[in-house]
């Protein structure tokens, strides 16, 4: 039997695309119209979903996209997205990879000798690429001082045009000197490959934390990721981090029962006070929710405690103080019911998570995403524009 309609578990992760669109528009206003804006949507758009986030970011003012996973880039192309897609390093480059880059018109990144050799070997035509420079992150890329020689070899291959030079600096808040050292190292590296009379490759230095520090290090392009999902305090105008697109995480009760056990009360996984009622939702740590709640949930507009620990597929709720709760009732881990609301910020404080993307990333793909639409709207206020260097 083939199943044409597949019922889903009653779990929903609701994402407000308006917040993402507004953030993209605010970042665009911050850097001005001339800067090429890559919306970084790696890791399935940090858990928010690569296709809806890409469409929103492009409609709201981004020019291009950057991802790591080939399957994300291919899904974007298959969805009809025609903008430039930059692939950050993330593979041992082989013939299959190069074939996909070529077939889907993607911009690959060279980050070391092996990636250069493999690209050159397997390409059948000349394409544009990026070179990732390591200017202080000590993670991946060509050492800034080695860029000139590396770029010369890439050009000499006849297969590669250097369209982009990018780096992802290591930012320590408040340590401007450390950032400036990396900026100057990157600038010197860019200078070392510049050929007279040519515009030269696009320079990407500013990811979210560089933009957040408003230090004027916006070059000809930017590639923020995190900031698409929450504007840092210095970019909101009111000194507080902006709202997040995390609108709700909800489930429904699939089982409600009174606890009647009295034997081995100390070993019971649930409280055994007289009158205890337990409700079950089909959402567990297998869905990545270990840090997605405040240890309480909303049921019928009231906060009810979660009974720890969750299991892989289920979470128990202590409904003793909610005698009217029944199968089918909505359970909000994050979201609004009646006059109460559990915000993602409350969940982040509860677990000491600083970035909403770190909260959302573990949420598994089996939790269906649900999107509130984005609509273009004029900005309420226009923060000053940083000049492009
Ligand atoms: C993730 C990433 C970015 C974006 O970083 P954020 O800190 O999320 O803004 C930019 N460049 C590279 C190479 C990355 O891997």
Q: Ligand 1 within 6 A of 320 CB?
A: no
Average pLDDT over residues 78-106: 98
Q: Locate the DSSP E strands across 17-139.
A: 36-40, 64-67, 85-87, 109-110, 127-134
**What is the 265 CA–ligand 1 centroid distance (Å)?**
51
Q: Ligand 1 within 6 A of 170 CB?
A: no
Flag whether pLDDT at 155 surpasses 80: yes
Q: Tokens 């909303």 identify what position?
A: 298
Q: Say if CB 235 and CB 383 are below 8 A apart.
A: yes
Average pLDDT over residues 122-146: 97
Average pLDDT over residues 161-179: 95
Residue 3's pLDDT band (boundaries 50, 70, 90)? Answer: low
Tell me if residue 119 falls in helix, strand or coil.
helix
Q: Ligand 1 within 6 A of 168 CB?
A: yes
Which atom number of ligand 1 is nearest to the Cα of residue 109?
Answer: 13
Mean of per-residue pLDDT scores for the chain: 94
Flag whether pLDDT at 54 surpasses 60: yes
Which atom number of ligand 1 is nearest to the Cα of residue 226?
Answer: 8
Question: Among residues 150, 158, 104, which one has the least CA distance to residue 131?
Answer: 150
Measured in whole angstroms, how far is the alpha carbon of residue 46 from the centre of its chain? 2
Q: Whose CA is nearest to atom 11 of ligand 1?
A: 168
**What is the 90 CA–ligand 1 centroid distance (Å)?**
13
Which tokens sit at 286? 């297998």
Give the pLDDT of residue 5: 83
Which tokens sit at 13? 């992760």
Give the pLDDT of residue 377: 83
Q: Whose CA is nearest to atom 8 of ligand 1?
A: 225
Q: Ligand 1 within 6 A of 167 CB?
A: no
Give the pLDDT of residue 388: 43
Average pLDDT over residues 350-366: 95
Q: Rounded to whole angstroms, how far apart are CA atoms 109 and 88?
A: 6
| Percent of the chain scoring above 90 in pLDDT | 90
| Percent of the chain scoring above 70 in pLDDT | 96
Q: Ligand 1 within 6 A of 18 CB?
A: no
Which atom number of ligand 1 is nearest to the Cα of residue 208?
Answer: 9
Q: Say if CB 66 and CB 38 are below 8 A apart.
A: yes
Mutate which of 57, 64, 72, 168 for ligand 1? The one with the most ligand atoms within 8 Å of its CB, which is 168
Which tokens sit at 159? 């297969």
Give the pLDDT of residue 2: 63
Q: What predicted TM-score, i.e. pTM, was given to this entire model? A: 0.94
Give the pLDDT of residue 173: 86
Give the pLDDT of residue 6: 84
Which atom number of ligand 1 is nearest to the Cα of residue 132?
Answer: 13
Give the pLDDT of residue 389: 40
pLDDT tens profile 59-69:
999 999 999 99
Give the pLDDT of residue 213: 86
pLDDT tens profile 258-293:
999 999 999 999 999 999 999 999 999 999 999 999
The DSSP-derived string for 188-217 is HHHHHH--TTS---EEEEE-HHHHHTT-S-
The DSSP-derived string for 17-44 is HHHHHHHHHHHHHHH-TTSEEEEE-HHH
Q: Tokens 């929903």 identify what position?
A: 12
Flag whether pLDDT at 384 surpasses 70: no
Which atom number of ligand 1 is nearest to the Cα of residue 42?
Answer: 1
Give the pLDDT of residue 174: 87
**What is the 205 CA–ligand 1 centroid distance (Å)?**
10
């Amino acid at each position: 039997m083939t199943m044409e309609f597949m019922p889903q578990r009653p779990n929903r992760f609701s994402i407000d695309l308006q917040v993402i669109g507004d953030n993209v528009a605010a970042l665009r206003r911050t850097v001005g119209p001339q800067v090429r804006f890559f919306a970084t949507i790696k890791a399935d758009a940090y858990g928010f979903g690569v296709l809806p986030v890409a469409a929103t970011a492009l409609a709201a003012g981004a020019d291009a996209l950057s991802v790591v996973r080939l399957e994300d880039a291919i899904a974007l192309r298959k969805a009809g997205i025609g903008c430039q897609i930059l692939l950050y390093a993330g593979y041992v480059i082989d013939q299959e990879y190069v074939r996909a880059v070529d077939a889907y018109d993607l911009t690959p990144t060279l980050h070391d000798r092996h990636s250069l050799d493999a690209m050159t070997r397997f390409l059948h035509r000349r394409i544009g690429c990026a070179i990732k420079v390591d200017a202080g992150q000590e993670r991946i890329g060509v050492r800034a001082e080695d860029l000139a020689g590396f770029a010369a070899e890439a050009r000499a291959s006849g297969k590669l045009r250097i369209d982009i030079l990018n780096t992802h600096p290591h930012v320590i808040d408040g340590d401007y000197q450390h950032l400036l050292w990396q900026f100057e190292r990157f600038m010197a590296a860019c200078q070392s490959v510049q050929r007279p009379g040519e515009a030269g490759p696009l320079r990407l230095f500013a990811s979210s934390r560089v933009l957040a520090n408003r230090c004027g290090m916006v070059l000809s392009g930017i590639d923020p990721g995190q900031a698409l999902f929450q504007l840092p305090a210095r970019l909101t105008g009111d000194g507080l981090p902006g709202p997040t697109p995390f609108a709700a995480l909800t489930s429904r009760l699939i089982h409600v029962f009174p606890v009647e056990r009295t034997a081995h009360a100390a070993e019971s996984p649930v409280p055994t006070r007289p009158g205890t009622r337990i409700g079950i939702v089909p959402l567990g740590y297998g869905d990545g929710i270990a840090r997605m709640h405040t240890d309480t949930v909303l049921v019928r507009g009231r906060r009810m405690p979660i009974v720890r620990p969750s299991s892989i597929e289920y979470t128990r709720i202590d409904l003793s103080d909610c005698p009217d709760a029944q199968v089918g009732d909505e359970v909000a881990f994050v979201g609004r019911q009646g006059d109460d609301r559990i915000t993602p910020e409350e969940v982040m404080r509860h677990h000491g998570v600083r970035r909403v993307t770190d909260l959302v990333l573990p949420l598994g793909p089996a939790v269906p995403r649900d999107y509130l639409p984005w609509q273009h709207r004029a900005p309420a206020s226009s923060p000053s524009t940083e000049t492009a260097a």
